[in-house]
């Protein structure tokens, strides 16, 4: 990978130890993926959760901060592994919380923004069309490439950190025009799609395409950004997908025009039975849940309001917790609007700045988790040693409340 003289200097340590370490990381990544050069970015979004980064991640963050490191562009973070305001109420051990707080402290020393969310594009990090960013969270990557029209690759832990410090990223993958062209098109089932349908459709697409770029036709006209947020998150959980062309919605018409002239190699009509097969695959048990986990990715204020309306005049059944995960910003808005009070009146709890897919649910005492998130269902059933039930939000509330 080509480095200019200034970048060569950083690699030699002329900008300090933190930038030298970051440049070593990016040089190795760039060489491995065949990147031609490094290009500037406008923002970064990094992972800083203890459950996935472990002690090694904490030590890296602390070393970079102690070495004078500082993020070179506005940088936000994915959810932490604990509620940063009230972790004790959610059954987190003090030992686990202490390590996450160490990680947060180092992140702040690096000049990270106090925005811990899986949906930075909804609350605190807003790239423009055509801008290059370096984002690590797969759901955010799909939304940025597909809806916002910005450009980012799916970055792994440590690479995202290096990009944030240097304000640069290797030029490869989704930063190149040819790699953003759709070569397979899916058609959504006709009719009304439920919250679960959007998620199951996304999971089916992600599982089917591998590293290809799909287009999706037939998206209902009443689809909102939250629907596409969850669809893209589900798709990203099922494979390496980084972009979806939503026909009639996505703005990258040039790429779609190229696809229409011969790149499109396959067309797939998704049936109602296909979505039902995803539901069957996701459901591991019919046991009663001890936790309902909503918000992977984070729920918007609008979604929290919808949840509050479903819970009106209802109470959670004994022995079942309901946690609704959201950003700190949406939490504050929901509190001011009275939405939080409505959810708590039914026995639910709002959790801010964390999420179920990066929380130690097993250690918190949960065994069966019910959710309408395909992303969370996929993560829990493959990585977190808890059983999963997967259903629509309306069906979940009907089952777990009185």
CA angle 194, 362, 50 (to 5 degrees): 95
Instruction: Read off the pLDDT band of 186 (50, 70, 90).
Output: very high
Q: How far is CA 240 from the centre of its chain?
A: 13
DSSP 118: S
pLDDT band at 262, cuts 50/70/90?
Answer: low
Give the separation between CA 8 and CA 313, rounded to whole angstroms.
64
User: Which fold is adopted by the domain 178-279?
Assistant: Aconitase; Domain 2 (3.40.1060)
User: Could you give the CA distance from residue 153 to residue 44 in angstroms, rounded to a whole number?
Assistant: 11
Neighbours of 85 (CB within 10 A): 12
User: Tens of pLDDT along 74-120?
Assistant: 999 999 999 999 999 999 999 999 999 999 999 999 999 999 999 99
- Which residues have CB under 8 Å from 163's CB, separation 6+? 22, 26, 41, 44, 134, 155, 169
**How far is the C-alpha of 85 from the C-alpha of 273, rounded, in Å?**
43
Tokens read off for 76: 């936000």
Q: Mind listing the pLDDT tens digit for each residue in 372-385?
A: 999 999 999 988 88
Can you list the positions of beta strands (E) in 237-313?
Answer: 245-246, 266-269, 291-299
349 and 381 in contact (C-beta within 8 Å)? Answer: no
Please give the Cα distance from 152 to 247 (Å, whole number).
20
> What is the average pLDDT value for the chain, to the nearest integer?
95
CA distances from 373 to 13, 45, 229 (A): 45, 22, 11
> What is the Cα–Cα distance from 48 to 223, expressed in whole angstroms?
31
Q: What is the pLDDT of residue 327?
A: 98
Model confidence at 318: pLDDT above 70? yes
Chain centroid to CA 178? 25
The secondary element (H helix, E strand) that includes residue 70 is none
Are 5-173 and 283-400 in the same CATH fold?
Answer: yes
pLDDT in the model for residue 46: 98
The domain defined by 5-173 carries CATH number 3.40.640.10: no
Q: Give the pairing type, strands 38-40 and 168-170.
A: antiparallel
**By three-state DSSP, how is residue 296 classified?**
strand
Which CATH architecture best describes the domain 283-400? 2-Layer Sandwich (3.30)
Query: Domain limits of the chain?
Result: 5-173, 178-279, 283-400
Q: Is residue 334 a contact partner of residue 301, using CB atoms and an 8 Å limit?
A: yes
At residue 261 the predicted structure's pLDDT band, cuts being 50, 70 and 90, is: very low
For residue range 209-252, what is the model confidence (pLDDT) as tens digits? Answer: 998 999 999 998 889 999 999 999 999 999 999 999 998 887 76
- Which one, of 201, 226, 229, lies nearest residue 216 by Cα? 201
* Structure tokens belonging to residue 9: 């200097």
pLDDT reading at 157 higher than 90: no
The whole-angstrom separation of Cα 251 and Cα 147 is 7
How large is the average pLDDT for residues 270-297? 97
């Amino acid at each position: 990978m080509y480095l200019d003289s200034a970048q060569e200097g950083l690699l030699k340590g002329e900008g300090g130890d933190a930038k030298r370490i970051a440049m070593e990381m990016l040089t190795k990544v760039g060489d491995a993926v065949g990147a031609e050069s490094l290009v500037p970015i406008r923002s970064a979004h990094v992972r800083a959760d203890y459950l996935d980064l472990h002690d090694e991640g904490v030590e890296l963050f602390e070393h970079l901060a102690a070495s004078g490191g500082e993020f070179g562009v506005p940088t936000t973070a994915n959810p932490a592994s604990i509620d940063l305001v009230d972790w004790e109420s959610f059954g987190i051990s003090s030992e686990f919380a202490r390590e996450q707080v160490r990680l947060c402290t180092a992140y702040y020393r690096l000049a990270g923004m106090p925005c811990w969310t899986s949906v930075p594009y909804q609350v605190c990090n807003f790239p423009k069309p055509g801008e290059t960013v370096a984002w690590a969270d797969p759901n955010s990557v799909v939304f940025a490439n597909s809806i916002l029209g910005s450009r980012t690759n799916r970055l792994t832990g440590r690479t995202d950190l290096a990009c944030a410090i240097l304000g640069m990223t290797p030029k490869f993958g989704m930063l190149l025009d040819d790699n953003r062209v759709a070569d397979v098109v899916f058609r959504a089932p006709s009719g009304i799609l439920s919250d679960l349908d959007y998620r199951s459709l996304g999971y089916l697409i992600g599982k089917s395409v591998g590293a290809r770029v799909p287009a999706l036709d037939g998206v209902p006209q009443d689809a909102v950004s939250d629907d596409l947020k969850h669809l893209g998150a589900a798709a990203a959980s099922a494979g390496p997908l980084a972009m979806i062309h939503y026909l009639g919605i996505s703005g990258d018409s040039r790429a779609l025009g190229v696809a229409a002239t011969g790149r499109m190699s396959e067309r797939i009509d998704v049936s109602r039975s296909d979505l039902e097969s995803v539901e069957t695959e996701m459901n591991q048990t019919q046991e009663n849940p001890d936790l309902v986990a909503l918000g992977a990715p984070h729920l918007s204020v609008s979604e929290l309001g919808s949840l509050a309306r479903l819970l009106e005049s209802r109470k959670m059944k004994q022995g079942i917790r309901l946690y609704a995960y959201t950003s700190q910003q949406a939490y504050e808005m929901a509190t001011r609007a009275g939405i939080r009070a409505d959810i708590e009146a039914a026995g639910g709890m709002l959790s801010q700045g964390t999420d179920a897919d990066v929380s130690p649910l097993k250690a918190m005492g949960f065994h069966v988790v019910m959710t309408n998130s395909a992303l969370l269902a996929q993560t829990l059933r493959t990585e977190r040693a808890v059983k999963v039930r997967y259903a629509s939000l309306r069906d979940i509330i009907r089952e777990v409340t009185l």
